[in-house]
Amino acid sequence: MDRVLTAPHELMPTRKGQEVKFGMRPERNSRERPRPSSVSVIVPAYNAAATLAEQLQALAAQRFDGDWELVIVDNGSSDGTADLARRYRQRFKEFTLVDGGSRRGHSAPRSAGAIAARGELLAYCDADDVVAPGWLQAMADAARYYDLIGGWLDVRPLNDDATRGWHQPWPRDRLRSWLLPYAVSANLAVWADVLRDLGGWSSEYEAGGEDTELSWRAQLAGYRLGFAPDAVVYYRYRSGLWETARQSYGIGVHCEQILRDFAVLRDGTHHGDRRTAVDQADDGDGSALVRAIGRAAWLATRLPYLAASRRHRGQWISVAAEYLGRLNGAVRYRLLDRRRARSWTGCRLKYVHAARVGYRHPGSAE
């Protein structure tokens, strides 16, 4: 069975301008749910004709002992992405192609997919990646214990050694963490009722950072974020230096946007991962200007990277682009002269979220 839908953007349940408060709790806060009776796999796609077929083949090969549907959201492609998706519709029992219109972005197609979806659990992956065998089953199993789930991004199959060296490694045994842990939208699942309760994906993060924003908002609202180690997606990095620099610059801008919106975390004590040698930026103390000066000094000491191997050159460019984006974002969101004051809120977050946020494997003892 297949459906072709045109998504009315005015009906998209996207959060905009909602105040983020610590301590909000949903009425339902049970420790374990029944296994989802149905799952919707949502794949946003924009000009993905070169990579979508590989992802669709991997999804069609998933072994899952429950009901599930595939929802492709064509986000205004001009390269035949929609036509390619239609050629695979017979490979799936339930298939929906959503015309996402011309409103391109990160949140809009994910919201359009959520509207069209009929499953209790919404599982997201991207059109330029490849889900590993067992991905869907692992997401559904983990959903019994968590409200929002992230899996592991394996960068080895789809990227060469040099390109992998441009980026911070993804932890194998937990979610990546900054001020709080977060799931990445390329490998994320969320219960449909949880997404509705949260007000959907934020329309203020169309350019990126929408997954971190949703993950943090969910945790501050009392929902459980967990890691599913067997839900693996083969993740594809940008292969060119220019494309990587553009992406890193955008990440830097979004970091400052998130710091503005989550002042309750920004002004407290974070308990995220220790930074790697590549990323020495600390968002705990000092103004954004002081941090920017520190980053510039870090880059200056590593200028020889530009004349070294492709791996080191790409690493320097990637970090420099992100730092430039963070400086731009600090100016845009008026964070240059703000001090990071430690507060009782931050101390409370340190202990409350250590107990609430899911680092354990699904099914482990509480």
* Tens digits of residue pLDDT in 153-181: 999 999 999 999 888 889 999 999 989 99
* Residue 313 CB neighbours (<10 A): 16
**Predicted confidence band at 351 (pLDDT cuts at 50, 70, 90)?**
very low
**What pLDDT does residue 31 have?**
67
Whole-model pTM: value is: 0.81
Residue type at 302? R
Phi, psi of 164 (to 5 degrees): -60, -30
**What pLDDT does residue 86 have?**
97
Q: Residue 11, exposed/middle/buried by CB under 10 A (0-12, 13-18, 19+)?
A: exposed
**Predicted confidence band at 321 (pLDDT cuts at 50, 70, 90)?**
confident
Does the structure show a pLDDT above 50 at 329?
Answer: yes
Q: CA-to-CA distance for 148 and 318, rounded, in angstroms?
A: 30
**Predicted confidence band at 278 (pLDDT cuts at 50, 70, 90)?**
very low
β-pair type (2-6, 95-99): parallel
**What pLDDT does residue 2 have?**
55
Q: CA-to-CA distance for 289 and 339, rounded, in angstroms?
A: 10
- C-alpha distances (whole Å) from 87 to each of 59, 80, 112, 332 are 14, 11, 21, 44
**Tens digits of residue pLDDT in 9-40:** 333 445 554 444 444 444 445 568 999 999 99
**What pLDDT does residue 196 have?**
97
Q: Residue 95, exposed/middle/buried by CB under 10 A (0-12, 13-18, 19+)?
A: buried
Does the structure show a pLDDT above 90 at 61?
Answer: yes
